A and B are shown apart, each in its own frame.
Chain A
Amino acid sequence: MAHSGINVLFEGDNFIRLLGGLWITIKIAAGALVGGVILGTILGVLRTLNSKILRFILRLYLEFFRIIPTVVLLFLFYYIIPRQFNLNMPANELATLVFGLWVAAEMSDIVRGSLISVPKHQQESGKAIGLNRYQLYRYVLIPQAVSLEIPATINLATRVIKTTSLLMLISVMDVINVGQQVIEANNQSYPTGVFWVYGLIFILYFLIDYPLSWWSKRLEKQRLERNNG
């Protein structure tokens, strides 16, 4: 293995360009998470209400996003939205939209699950002291559900960040696409560059995701300890 292969990363502005790609990746993930969590929370609350039709529709929405692989979702939106709706969205915004809708679907299930796992007597006590439905959610259900939701939401965030690697497929200039350009441009001078560039991207993803998944594990552990002790 050529010992100088690693230099490909520091040649010219390669490193800065890779970090720039990573920044685009992070922006899309963050946008999708913020939008998706807000929409998903609303949908999750709606799924605990008593309307069968609403529950059915929202369930279909969730199952659609669960069953279809994310790659396929990206392509569905990428090919169908511009043509069918005559809406020319830049790839970055399109990706944020697809990921946001996916996050909303998953989030709705997290929120629903944690709302229904708040002990029944809590809800009944709330009703007994005369809270209306809005107050019940606002003061009793949501605050208790949040501690259940947070670890699951952080986990979802790590999944979203990992899945942004698919952005390269719809020609977003994310970190992987930039990496491929760097590899191609330096193929002559650094034949082993591919190893270092993909290696760096591998490490970058790990550095972002590992602290998040460690955090969510710790929160989950704390919650269990609190509940058992």
Chain B
Amino acid sequence: MSWTVIQQSLPMFAKGFELTLWLSFVGVVGSIIVGVVVSLIQYFKVPVLHQIGSIYVEISRNTPLLIQLFFLYYAFPVIGIKLGAELSGIIGLIFLGGSYMAEGFTGGFVGVPKNQIESGKAIGLSQWQLARFVVFPQGFSLSVPAMAANIIFLIKETSIFTVIAIPELTNTALDLIGMYYRSNEYLFVLVVAYAIILVPLSLGLTYLEKRVRYGSFGN
């Protein structure tokens, strides 16, 4: 282990770090949006869209991100759709994350006690009001643990972007190893970099999970 090697590599890793954070952020926000939309469609059993949603969830959950990315980045151009590497990465991550988030939210909505929904109906709430004031707020807080696990999962998945040569953290490390053969040093920085992102996030999300456990009166 040579500290000078590590020190010299830090500016490169800083760039990769920034990119990993940025791609993760866009991917997570996009996934949550897609997830909320898909799970609401599933919840209300919107005709046609409901079936499309189920097919999407099954395809996205049962295929690896790596091959999804290859498809977007290498196979789409031959049918005339050219996406850059970063755009492919983001679309791939949202495609994958959206279904995981959707499952998480659906789990939360289903977990809202039946008596809550019946009470809502009894005071004359419309379907939309029921969703807006009863199911959504409670279901959302119930799905926070799943959402937290998915956020961490998605950030880790950005490491796969290396296969389409996006210079995020993993790609930076592999590039440096390829050039200078100092695998110990660069892998060490890489592990530390992921730990810096994921350890505080994991602790923070655990704290958040405890804070949002409200709204289950009577149980």
Contact = CB atoms under 8 A, between A and B. Distances in A.
Interface string B141-176: 000000000001000110110110000001001100
B159 A209 contact: no
B195 interface: yes
Contacts of B10: none
A158 B66 CA distance: 15
Contacts of B58: 210, 213
A56 interface: no
B159 A205 contact: no
Interface of B: 58-59, 61-68, 70-71, 74-75, 78-79, 152, 156-157, 159-160, 162-163, 170, 173-174, 177, 183-184, 187, 190-191, 194-195, 198-199, 202
Interface string A1-36: 100000000000000000000000000000000000
Contacts of B64: 162-166, 205
A157 B66 CA distance: 17
Given A71-B159, A165-B67, A195 B78 contact: yes
Interface of A: 1, 66-72, 75-76, 79-80, 83, 158, 162-166, 168-169, 176, 191-192, 194-195, 198-199, 201-202, 205-206, 209-210, 213
A201 B187 contact: no
A68 B160 contact: no
A163 B191 CA distance: 19
B17 to A, nearest CB: 14
B159 A79 contact: no
Given A76-B191, A192-B79, A195-B78, 17 more contacts: A67-B194, A67-B195, A67-B202, A69-B160, A75-B174, A79-B187, A162-B63, A163-B64, A164-B64, A165-B66, A166-B64, A166-B160, A176-B70, A192-B78, A198-B71, A202-B68, A210-B58
Given A166-B160, A192-B78, A209-B62, A68 B187 contact: no
